[in-house]
């Protein structure tokens, strides 16, 4: 029996899929009380983060220039968690505030600071990357980080840069995106992730493909001016999306609108028609 979709994921998908696909930042004002989320998967995901860190996975990096921002993040989030998520326990013996938070929150955390070439990634705890590694991104400016996304820099690269410059303290925002995966694992670094190349059919696409959705927030820290970028990742079997009479056809429609480079980037490729047929119940 297919597990019911998380209500938070359903809400995200209705927002993501209701309009035709186009390059857009898709930003929404964020109620500070809803900055961070805890879902039913919290215990399992925290356990997975701790396992990855204990085994030496490359999930935490902090450049010297990001240390002040990381310290401020710890000071800002501690009272927020105490007020809104008192069940979240921060390990006091972990000295690094970014590591302490990363091992206690479902969200992955990225700290961006302004530099001569735009905002750069100066610190991060990312346990659940989608086909990238911290080694590829740390210290890089936004344009380089987004380079693998076909057409993004040419379409909205400048608006993204302007947004980072103009984001105000006290006015956080959220957005979301989606992709299709042939692997339900949350931790998919590019060094380990391989597309199988195996074709699916409309009959088996539902059990052999997964929808991966990221809820992202952006918040300006008041003292250092750093921007905190959080990522909460949801994974759902395509069968569960297809079973929803609203979401299945909506996702199918958005897939049919994607240009070929974006189809490949979202891991659809040769399986596009089979996945669309599955979502449409054909």
The gap from C-alpha 132 to its chain's centroid, in whole angstroms, comes to 12
Query: Residues 175-209: pLDDT tens digits?
Result: 999 999 888 999 999 744 445 456 899 999 999 99
Query: Rounded CA gap, 44 and 237, in Å?
Result: 17
In whole angstroms, how far apart are CA 48 and each of 57, 74, 185? Answer: 11, 22, 10
Q: Which residues of 169-199 are buried (b: 16+ CB within 10 A; e: fewer)?
A: eeebbbbbbbbbbbbeebbbbeeebeeeeee
Query: Residues 77-136: pLDDT tens digits?
Result: 999 999 999 999 999 999 999 999 999 999 999 999 999 989 999 999 999 999 889 999
Q: What is the DSSP letter of 4?
A: P
Higher pLDDT, 282 or 30: 30
Query: Residues 224-245: pLDDT tens digits?
Result: 999 999 999 999 999 999 999 9
Q: Which of 75, 172, 150, 62 is nearest to 112 (CA)?
A: 62
């Amino acid at each position: 029996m297919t597990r019911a979709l998380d209500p938070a994921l359903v809400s995200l998908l209705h927002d993501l899929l209701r309009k035709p696909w186009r390059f857009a930042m898709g930003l929404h004002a964020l109620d500070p009380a809803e900055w961070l989320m805890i879902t039913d998967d919290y215990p399992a995901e925290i356990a997975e983060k701790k396992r990855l860190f204990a085994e030496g996975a490359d999930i935490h990096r902090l450049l010297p220039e990001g240390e002040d921002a990381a310290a401020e993040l710890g000071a800002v989030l501690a009272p927020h968690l105490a007020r809104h998520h008192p069940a979240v326990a921060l390990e006091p013996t972990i000295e690094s505030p970014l590591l302490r938070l990363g091992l206690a929150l479902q969200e992955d955390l990225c700290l961006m600071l302004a530099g001569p070439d735009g905002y750069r990634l100066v610190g991060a705890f990312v346990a659940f990357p989608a086909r990238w590694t911290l080694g590829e991104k740390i210290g890089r400016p936004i344009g380089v980080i987004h380079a693998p996304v076909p057409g993004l820099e040419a379409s909205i690269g400048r608006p993204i840069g302007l947004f980072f410059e103009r984001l105000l303290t006290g006015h956080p925002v959220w957005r979301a995106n989606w992709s299709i995966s042939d692997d339900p694992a949350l931790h998919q670094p590019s060094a380990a992730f391989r597309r199988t190349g195996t074709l699916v059919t409309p009959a088996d696409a539902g059990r052999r493909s997964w929808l991966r959705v990221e809820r992202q927030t952006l918040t300006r820290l008041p003292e250092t001016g750093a921007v905190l970028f959080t990522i909460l990742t949801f994974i759902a079997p395509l069968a569960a999306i297809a079973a929803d009479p609203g979401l299945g056809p909506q996702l199918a429609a958005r897939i049919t609108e994607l240009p070929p480079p974006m189809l490949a980037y979202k891991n659809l490729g040769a399986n596009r028609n089979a996945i669309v047929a599955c979502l449409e119940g054909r």
